[in-house]
Structure formats: C-alpha cells, structure tokens
Amino acid sequence: MEQRLANSWRQTVNEKNFIVNALLSELRVDGRRPFDYRKLTIKFGKDDGSSEVQLGHTHVMAIVSGQLLQPYKERPNEGTLAVFTEFSPMADPSFEPGRPTESAVELGRVVDRGLRESRAVDTESLCVLSGKLVWAIRIDIHILDNGGNLVDAANIAALAALLTFRRPECSLGGEDGQQVVVHPPEMRDPIPLIIHHLPIAVTFGFFSNENIMVIDPTHHEEAVMTGRMTATVNANGDVCSIHKPGGEGVNHRVLMHCLKLAHVKAGDITAKIKDAVEIYNTQRALRKIKRHSSSVALDVGGTPAKSGEKQNQVDGSQLPQSKFKDEASSMECDATSSGQEQNNKRDGVSQKFIGGPSSWDPYSECVNPDLLKASLASHGPATQRTQKGSRSETKAEEPPQEMKIDSSPTDAGLAAAQNNEGKTLKDAVKPKNKRKKKKVSSNSGN
C-alpha cells in the first residue's frame, strides 16, 4: 500500500496551471503547436503482421494473427475481426496485470469500431467454406509505454499490422469440394488481407477554457484536460466513428472544426503508414525474389514450414508434393512440406520434421500416414533417421547448398537462393564446406 502510494505519479498544481496558461498563448510544454502531432515512427517485426509504433514517448505494439473458425450464425459468409488489448504494467504505474480495465476495453472498442463499422477490412474475402469455415482475424494490441494518446498510437499500430499481415492461401479439394487444404507459406505465397481504406483515429483534448483544444495530448496534458474526443476519419474524408466519453461538452461548431482537422491529419498519417508499409513490402519482396530465381536451377528442397523454432536443424527436405496434395484430406497439411513445386522433380532426402508452432496452427497436425509410407518407400532408411542422418546425406549430395542452408535457416526461400549462389561460386565456396560440415555436425549433435 505504501509502495503503491509512493510509486504513483502525481501532478503538481503548478504544472496544471502552467499547462493551461501556456495553452492560452498556444504553446505546449514540449514545444509543439496545439494541432501538431508528435514524431511518429512505424517499425515492423520479422513476422508478417507485427508492428511497433512510437508516437513521442508512447510506444505500442500490435500483432495480427488468423485462424480458421466457424463463422457467426448471422453472418455465415463473412470472416470475423476481433481486437484485444493488453495494458502492460511496465507502461504506467497505474496499470495492473489481470483483467482489462475500463480504459483498456474502451481503447479496444474505439479501434474495433473504426475498423468494423466502416468495413475497412473486407470480411467476405475471408470466407473459405460458407457457414463452416472462415478466417478469424485477431488483433492483439500491447501497450508498452504510456506517454499519452494511446488510442491514436494503437490504431496506427493495428492498421500497420493489418496491412503487412499475410494469411496462408487455402483451396477447396476433395471429392465434394468440402475439404479445405491450407497451403503452407513455402508452397504458396501467403496472401494479404483486402483493406479498402485506412480509418485513422485522431484524439482531441479539451480544456476548461472554451477556446483551448489540442491534438495528440501527452500524458501530462491528459491529466489536466477536462474532455476528450476521438474522431476516426479516413483520407477520403469519410467519418468512420466519433467517440466522446463524457467530459466537457463541446459546441457543434467546435465538433465540425475537429472533424475537418481530423481529415487533414488522417491524410498525413495515412501517407506515413503507407510509406512504412511500402518499405517493408519491398524488403519482403527482395527476400522472395532471391528464392524464386534460384529455385529453378538446382536440385535441393527448401526448408520445412514454420522453421522458426527448429532453425538450426533445418535442412533440405523433399516430399513429392504434387502427388500428395490431391490426397490430402480435410485440414491436414504437409507438416514436413518444403520447397516449391519445382522441387518435386528433384532428388533429395526427405526429412520428417514435426513443426512446433502454437497449438491452433493449422499445419502443425501430425504427419499424414500416406505421406510417411510414400516417402519411406522412395527414400529408404534415410527418412527415418534424425536430422543428423538426413543432413549428412544431403551433405554428400549437395555440399554447397547445404552450407548455405545452414547459414540462413529462417527463410525457406533463402536456402534455394543460396543454392544458386553456390552453383555460381562453387569454386570459391568449396573450402568453406569443411568448416560448415564440422559446425553442422556439432549442431546436429546437440
């Protein structure tokens, strides 16, 4: 109790008065003008669909994930969208772990309303089997540092994450067209969500003096202001939502002025988000390009799906994809799948790799027994060995590619990419093989 009293943040009377007085002369404590936004930085994580936004001192992270679920009964043809917020205790002394507080729920609702009501995310394209299976998109917003104006930052983070999220492509197969096959990222590129427009949330703070209004309040200003309003507007000028939770009443003229300002700000922020996403996409495409250009040339399979946890052990693996895709039943996915379609023709050593991603992942099912039998038949005892065994086999066959695969296990494509390099730089590369082999064998020993 004492600790909590001592640790909580307090504001002095001096500060309150100063902030209001300075605003009378249109000055804000951090040197901004009343309608200026703080510096906005948008970064992306390694995986698709994760973003990190910094708006001044406010730091927010958003992760988008998708799962195949049953749709709601009233909307059998539409995918679903859900927003979850987590106010981490490291963000602010007043945040407690456990149940979301009112403000956490409020933040989630504002972000959700902006996306859902305006139909920014196309949910009909998320339907896989009408009435049975649809993509359920989940946005998790984590607040890492509370520097004020969490709503705007969280909204930008959610949008950036949605724009960079890629969901696995799935197709209908089977005799009656009712079996769904989810293709892993290596076989078919995951596809982005269809997002029609970007609803940007702009928060206004009102102070007891009628004429004072600020955009993007800081934590200290939030403690002083007497009313707030969040207007979610897109760059086209459409008002997606207005959220005014109590507080000081505002004149309708002020409200219209706010909406116009929000429109201008929305334009700026939309441009910034799009630029950041553009840069991320070009980087992503660069990685993709390497993979495709080299895969034509050589004889090695790519790395298995979801190699995230098993990076160090990943190796060339080969499954006759084309044969078994048709036979795949219901939701089973080639857990050990790897390489692209061209790899089907090549010889390689197949490898049993049971991925270990999160439990709901569609392609973490156990291996199809038919596949197992087929691969056993085609490749003999090699397939039953541990990764060490298969690795040594591939080593014998394709040393240069082997080395390259080890060096960049995370990206499936890179493996093949480096195979290409291996071919062209074979002579230069050979001496390195020995080193890598030793490393590999010591790795596999682990």
List the structure tokens of 133: 């299976």
In whole angstroms, how close is the CB of 152 to another protein at the nearest point?
23
In whole angstroms, how close is the CB of 17 to another protein at the nearest point?
7
In whole angstroms, how close is the CB of 6 to another protein at the nearest point?
5
- How many Cα atoms within 13 Å fall on the side-chain side of residue 128? 26
User: Rounded CA gap, 390 and 443, in Å?
Assistant: 13
In whole angstroms, how close is the CB of 82 to another protein at the nearest point?
37
In whole angstroms, how close is the CB of 219 to another protein at the nearest point?
12
Amino acid at 356: G
Nearer to another protein, 27 or 195 (CB): 27
- Write out the residues near another protein by the rule CB under 8 A: 2-3, 5-6, 10-18, 21-22, 25, 27-31
Q: Are 99 and 43 in contact (CB under 8 A)?
A: no
In whole angstroms, how close is the CB of 198 to another protein at the nearest point?
33
Burial of 389 by CB count in 10 Å (0-12 exposed, 13-18 middle, 19+ buried)?
middle
Q: Are 206 and 248 in contact (CB under 8 A)?
A: yes
Q: Are 12 and 18 in contact (CB under 8 A)?
A: no
Q: Can you spell out the DSSP letters for 398-433?
A: -HHHHHHHHH--S-HHHHHHHHHHHHHTHHHHHHHH
* C-alpha angle 155-192-360 in degrees, rounded to nearest 5: 85
Contacts of residue 85, defined as CB under 8 A and 6 or more positions apart, other chains included, come to 100, 104, 105, 107, 108, 111, 140, 141, 142, 143, 154
Nearer to another protein, 16 or 260 (CB): 16
Nearer to another protein, 56 or 302 (CB): 56
